[in-house]
Amino acid sequence: MDTMRDRFAPVVTRLLDEDPRVAVVLAAIGTDGFAEAARRHPGRVVDVGIREQLLVGAAAGLALTGLRPVVHTFASFLVERPFEQVKLDLGHQDAGAVLVSAAASFDWPAGGYTHMAPGDVALLDTLDGWTVHVPGHPDEAETLLRHAVAAGDDKVYVRLSVQANGQALPVDGERFRTVREGRSGVVVAVGPMLDAVLAATEGLDVTVLYATTVRPFDGAALRRATEAAGTDVVLVEPYLAGTSTAAANDALSDVPHRVLGLGVGRQELRRYGQLEEHVAAHGLDARSLRERIGGFAGAAARV
């Protein structure tokens, strides 16, 4: 299977052809995929070199002239390194952009912590007005990229990962999707976590919601799910554990509830190796998830 990132340049190249507002801004990463597009649209494909503050600042300038910038590099360099530019040049200037990251939480474990960004979504949560898409399959990534670029002048983050589910599901860029219904708890699986969550909850009497657009958080879907399944909620996220716990609490603020946030641990692992080894180390493999979800939801969840 190809990766989400494999879809990025072809999809955005088509958008460059279709929409004269679209511009691509790169910082020496992912440039090969846009070589042909740069020939066709020389003014609208810009590589600023290894300069991430300029990457985001220039995108803001492009937006202020009426263009729709799509900005791409690894998550560490896109959200964390130029964070003040994201906050001020886009947020404070009231300028929109589509930030598309790659490498995610630990897509390249052998690369080590410098190329890991499990805190990207939590960091964006400190800012107002960001839409965050976390596709779980390359087909979903394609759809969500199109939604992101078409979203007027909104500020949108699209988080691409080599972690993916086996099958794509229809995604609409807004709502959570009910994948399984039960009566003893709700598990929200975010993006690439779905396959592991479905395996982990096999035989458990829980509702499984699938979230590929996590900001705004579809609190209405979570509330509806809890009406039949009760208010024990487990969030399984491919980034920092607990990132969406506050959003879930807000959605259930007027009812007694419990929330367990599962995801990537805060402590730096200092290990290389393979992606699967990191998934297991953070307790995000199906077996670990079954223990933690089962332990939280309790006997009632077992059928």
Q: Helix, strand, coil shares of the chain as percentages rounded to 5?
A: 45, 20, 35
Q: Least CB distance from residue 14 to other proteins, whole Å?
A: 18
The residue (of 20 and 273) whose beta carbon lies closer to other proteins is 20
Whether the Cβ atoms of residue 105 and residue 112 lie closer than 8 Å to each other: no
Sign of CA dihedral 3, 17, 62, 213: negative
Q: Least CB distance from residue 47 to other proteins, whole Å?
A: 10
> What does each C-alpha distance from 167 to 64, 135, 137, 290 come to in angstroms?
39, 12, 7, 21
Q: Least CB distance from residue 36 to other proteins, whole Å?
A: 17
The residue (of 26 and 229) whose beta carbon lies closer to other proteins is 26
- What is the distance between the alpha carbons of residues 216 and 132, in angstroms, rounded to a whole number? 7
Tokens of 66: 């009426």
The residue (of 65 and 253) whose beta carbon lies closer to other proteins is 65
Q: Is 219 an interacting residue with respect to other proteins (CB under 8 A)?
A: no
Tokens of 146: 């199109």
Count CB-CB contacts under 10 A for residue 166: 10
Q: Segment 40-99, which members bind other proteins (CB under 8 A)?
A: 43-44, 46, 48-49, 51, 53-54, 56-67, 69, 84-85, 88-89, 92-94
The residue (of 76 and 85) whose beta carbon lies closer to other proteins is 85
Q: Least CB distance from residue 229 to other proteins, whole Å?
A: 44
Query: Under the rule (CB under 8 A), what is the footprint of other proteins?
Result: 20, 23, 25, 43-44, 46, 48-49, 51, 53-54, 56-67, 69, 84-85, 88-89, 92-94
